[in-house]
Structure 1
Amino acid sequence: MTQQQPWQWDEPTWRGHVGRVRAGRPLRPASWPGGARVAVALSFDSDHETPALRDGEVLPGKLSQGEYGARVGVPRILRLLERFGAPSTFFVPAVSALLHDGEVKSYVDAGHEVALHGWIHERNTHLPAAAERDLAFRAADTLERLTGTRPVGIRTPSWDFSDHSLQIIRELGLTYDSSLMADDDCYEILADGEPTGVVELPVEWIRDDMPYFMMDRFGSLRPYTPPRGVLSIWRDEFDVALAEGGIFQLTLHPHCIGHRSRISVLTELLEHIAAQRGRVWFATHAQIVDHVLNGKDLPR
């Protein structure tokens, strides 16, 4: 039988696709801890060598680009976060954690959160259900062993859900996901119209460093926005989040933002944010989700 084209679908079919994973009740709290006006959720995807390994790129050049993230980017980032007293969330593929001995423990020791980001930065939407589930559970077990704490959140390596991802997230008992884009603030994820209890802390490509700074020497991918042009975008995103009383969430990669011209931009952004003094609550993704669910006045 010939597969129908989307324009041939009947209404139950296209409604079914749209409704499979959907945004449910909004979870913006009435207030943030300590009287803050905005919650700042900084996150770092410590991918390092794993995207190259995932694609079978094993020559030293590409791998060294990822190694820079662990060798240079991470130390710079940790120093910067300490300067601003900004607890953050590090989403770490398990293979990255295994390659760089002690790195994930250093995150925890500095007061940051370590969360799931796949096994080897696999493209989870291309995997059979059993393989996706096996890699997710292996990754959770690995991060728990290396950090002493079971992860409570996930960012899928492809920023998307397969037909099986949400069920795997629920089987893992995770509190939140940070891969979808249906809001600026937290919401509960629905599965076929039913509440799941899983909180989404949304991402967006606008608030990610890679679309602005990625480089592929054999393809057409080139950085197209000057670093201070990106600073202007992110500063505007923060300013509106502050005005609305919501969340400013940012996704960064040590091998990308860790370079000199780019860490300078992040420094200027954090100076702009910190100038708001008591109006800003820096928090991990897990702390923010805990607050929107339970309204706890968490330590700042």
Structure 2
Amino acid sequence: MSRAENPDPWELPEAQWRAIVDEVGAGNGLDHRDWPGNAAVAVAISVDVDNETLPLSQRVSGPGPLSHAQYGARVGIRRVVDALNRHSVPATFFYPAVSAMLAPERFAEVRAAGHEIGLHGWIHERCGELTPAQELELGTRSIEALTAVTGTRPVGMRTPYWDFTVHTLPIAQQLGLEYDSSLMADDQPYELLRGGEPTGLTEVPVSWIRDDAPYFPDDALGKQALAPHDVLRIWQDEFDGAYAEGGLFTLALHPHVIGHRSRIKVLHDLLAHIAAHSGVWCATHAEIARYATTRRTRPAQ
């Protein structure tokens, strides 16, 4: 590719860099302290059930990496579901369709506990490696697979690897989804814009700060930068900040990551910390998105 086809960023004309930024944008948001029943804060816990699809999506097929991933299906997910049940917290489980097919009994346990099931790709594929047609086909196939086993069509998605491409938003619209949870433009839910125009889709934003994976790397050679109790302090401070603002606290977990003994205690302690506060609305991502959709009052920024 020539430099004319791929110029340096500082060579881009204003119209081009504005178009890049505006391709997918943040529109109408939800004001703070605006939750059902005058709740002081909203809490949305999510679980990305990657398990074996994570190494498979990376073209890794060795028994060692697969066994690490299988820990999530065999052990981790049960500990996560147990923690949520003990503290009576509903959650959204974002499932790659293949994860549900590989461990149908665990999938049934999640459903029996009443948690929401959301889309997380077919086999945790990277959307950026797909053509638009492939991304649409896999999204359609995933919806059909999850609907077949639950009897309920998923209404929201989280892109695998949080890899949201310029094609993802129109595909989500074509699939008839209500919300996404892969982007990070705000702490509050907001409406997604496409080329500056409202889409009707709500973003329930994520953050690497409120995700277990960066703190506990899968790679054996990667450094675990913090002890579990240090991560607990970060998440407690994030919740306390959301509580003081009257905002939304989201948390993204992975069974093969948070499900280990020393780490699941972090989840129990965090949920206990949240429960010690009054005026907390714990909801699924679909409930958060639907409420935000009815309460958009600010003009797009």
Please give the TM-score of this superposition, normalised by the length of structure 1. 0.94
CA shift, 1:200, in A, is: 0.3
Match status 1:12 vs 2:27: no
Q: Which whole-Å CA distance do the structure 2 matches of 1:137 and 1:80 have between them?
A: 32
Q: Which whole-Å CA distance do the structure 2 matches of 1:294 and 1:168 have between them?
A: 23
Asked whether the 8 Å contact 1:179–1:203 carries over to 2, the reply is yes
The equivalent of 2:47 in structure 1 is 44
The equivalent of 1:254 in structure 2 is 255
Residues 34-61 of structure 1: per-residue CA shift (max 9 Å, x gap)? 3321111000000000011112211111
CA shift, 1:108, in A, is: 2.2
Asked whether the 8 Å contact 1:54–1:120 carries over to 2, the reply is yes
Q: Which whole-Å CA distance do the structure 1 matches of 2:73 and 2:102 have between them?
A: 10
SS in 2 for 1:185: coil
Match status 1:221 vs 2:222: yes
Count of residue pairs brought into register by the alignment = 292
Q: Which whole-Å CA distance do the structure 2 matches of 1:192 and 1:292 have between them?
A: 21
Corresponding residue to 2:135 among 132, 135, 146:
132
The equivalent of 1:114 in structure 2 is 117
The equivalent of 2:174 in structure 1 is 171
Corresponding residue to 1:141 among 141, 144, 154:
144
Corresponding residue to 1:208 among 208, 211, 226:
211
Q: Which whole-Å CA distance do the structure 1 matches of 2:21 and 2:89 have between them?
A: 37
Q: Which whole-Å CA distance do the structure 2 matches of 1:129 and 1:288 have between them?
A: 28
Structure 2: 5+ residue runs without aligned partners? 296-301
Letter in 2 for 1:237: E
Structure 1: 5+ residue runs without aligned partners? 296-300
SS in 1 for 2:34: coil
Match status 1:66 vs 2:61: no
Q: Which whole-Å CA distance do the structure 1 matches of 2:10 and 2:140 have between them?
A: 38
Match status 1:238 vs 2:239: yes
Asked whether the 8 Å contact 2:32–2:245 carries over to 1, the reply is no
CA shift, 1:158, in A, is: 2.2
Match status 1:84 vs 2:87: yes
Match status 1:191 vs 2:199: no
CA shift, 1:287, in A, is: 0.8
The list of structure 1 runs, each at least 4 consecutive aligned residues, that deviate by more than 6 angstroms after superposition, is: none
Asked whether the 8 Å contact 1:49–1:96 carries over to 2, the reply is yes
Q: CA RMSD in A?
A: 1.3
Asked whether the 8 Å contact 1:90–1:113 carries over to 2, the reply is yes
CA shift, 1:107, in A, is: 1.9
Asked whether the 8 Å contact 1:105–1:146 carries over to 2, the reply is no
Query: Percent identity, aligned pairs only?
Result: 53
Please give the TM-score of this superposition, normalised by the length of structure 2. 0.94
The equivalent of 2:274 in structure 1 is 273
Letter in 2 for 1:163: V
CA shift, 1:32, in A, is: 2.0
SS in 1 for 2:162: coil
Residues 166-215 of structure 1: per-residue CA shift (max 9 Å, x gap)? 11100111000000000001000000000000000000000000000013
Mean Cα displacement is larger for which, 51-60 or 104-113?
104-113
Decide whether aligned partners of structure 1 residues 200 and 75 sit closer, same or farther in structure 2, where only a CA change above 3 A counts: same
Q: Which whole-Å CA distance do the structure 1 matches of 2:33 and 2:122 have between them?
A: 37
Mean Cα displacement is larger for which, 284-293 or 180-189?
284-293
